[in-house]
Chains A and B, each alone.
Chain A
Amino acid sequence: MAYIARRFGVSLFIIYVVITISFFLIRLMPGNAVDFLYFQLLASHTVSPQQALQQVQSLYGVNMKEPLLLQYVQYIWNMIHGSLGNSILYPGTSVLHILMNALPWTILIVSTSLIISFFIGISIGTLIAYFRKSKFAVLVSTIMTVLSAIPNYIVAIILLYLLADIHHIFPTGGAYSPEVAPGWNIPFLFSVARHAALPVIVFIITQVGGWSLGMKSSVVSALGEEYITSAHSHGIGSRRIIQSYVGRNAILPLVTSLGLSIGFMVGGSVFIETLFNYPGIGFFLITAVNGRDYPLMMGAFIIVTSAVVLANFLTDLINQRLDPRTMQK
């Protein structure tokens, strides 16, 4: 327990460090965003310098005439109290509100596709490792290599064109149809599933190759271990050996990469969410970058970083359960 607490503390610290770095980087850039906005407001001649200053201050939640260090303390202070400032592109809406609405959508497509592609991938990987000398396994391996090499936005464009544009099987974008009322009702959930289907399929197609190839090499090396030979000589059934001797050991390195993928997919969903016009974190990150909505950008950065760090933390915990060698007393 002490270990978990310590590990959690370290995670929080890492997030804090990344926030700090992002904060200062944005402000140290030549023509920084705060000045940019301030001078933009001044140039419009509709506001006095005081008003402009106030406006910027209210947008960022910081007073820019104060020293940088004080601004920083204020930003952190606001953050601890749950405020990330207001968005510029969506006036009157807090960054936190936008991100909290976007996060569930990203989590929905990222987790669904990760879980499905992971399980399909390790199953295929185990099979092609076990029958690695058969022609079929060689063919499947080749297909997986090709799949893992295609970038996801290419697959997304192809599927969008084929399944949404030509055949209208799936909608071209959005998280749900405007005709249904959001809530826990069947039409809404069905609509959500239909809209999430294409992004999820794209992720599965592009991820499954990597998982299966990773699992294949992991299984092949586990198969050569002497304890597998021993299990065979004890007469333990092949099925049991695959599951609890080979699989159990082979999956360890993949669980680590699964954890890392969770984090990186939240950030990496940018292309997919933009192409499918899917209102997740990635979509708003791109919108923020294009529109120079720095508070929103900062918020999205924090979410992405937190996702990576927390996923790492969870992976550590899971690995501890799975691998006795990393267990802490």
Chain B
Amino acid sequence: MTAHDVEPDNAVHPGKPVTVDRYTVGARINHWITAASLILLALSGLALFHPSLFFLSGLFGGGQFTRFIHPWIGVVLFFSFFGLFIRFWKANLWKREDGTWLARIRDVLANHEENVPEVGKYNAGQKFVFWAMSVLIVILISSGLVIWDQYFSAYTTVGQQRVALLVHAIAAVAIIGVWIIHAYSALWVRGTIPAMIRGSVTGGWAWRHHRKWLRELVTKPGGRSGSKPAE
């Protein structure tokens, strides 16, 4: 078993309840910048996407500013997410148990996690979100640049821009959909949001949702409180 699932900063603190470090401060800041960007992008993007949502441009001080700021937020999102990607990509590599987990997704949704295999730091659902976000953000940034009229209109043909617009719109819908899954899961699985706020989860949360990760943390050298890796 590779140790991809266990990041250096993750640690277990014995106690009652047990607490487990899940995200460092850097990761959390990085996440919330990404989250904020994505939400702002969704709001500004939806304003430009459907007339019935154009009122959302009011949140940004009007259509002109919405049009101006949306692509810049996209740039922020891209680099911010790139940070997350560097941090998390290894932990999101596909594992054998992920297939089984996915096959039993009905049990997951029915709150019968006891019927699914133990998973590492991320379950298949989270991995799907991670990879979907990664792919969609690449699509969105590249199609977004093509339709960023102010700076890049001269580099492509109108025909290419039309393709980019359609791709951008579809990818945006998809990413908002993925985000809904992500956000709902975090809400539904209690104890998850605090992980991204405080950085740690309870032992029970880890036992319940990411038991394999917990086991690895517990068994890895220096995986427990205070200890640092050997080197």
Partners in one complex: no
- Chain B contact residues, CB within 8 Å of chain A: none
List residues of chain A with CB under 8 Å of any chain B CB.
none
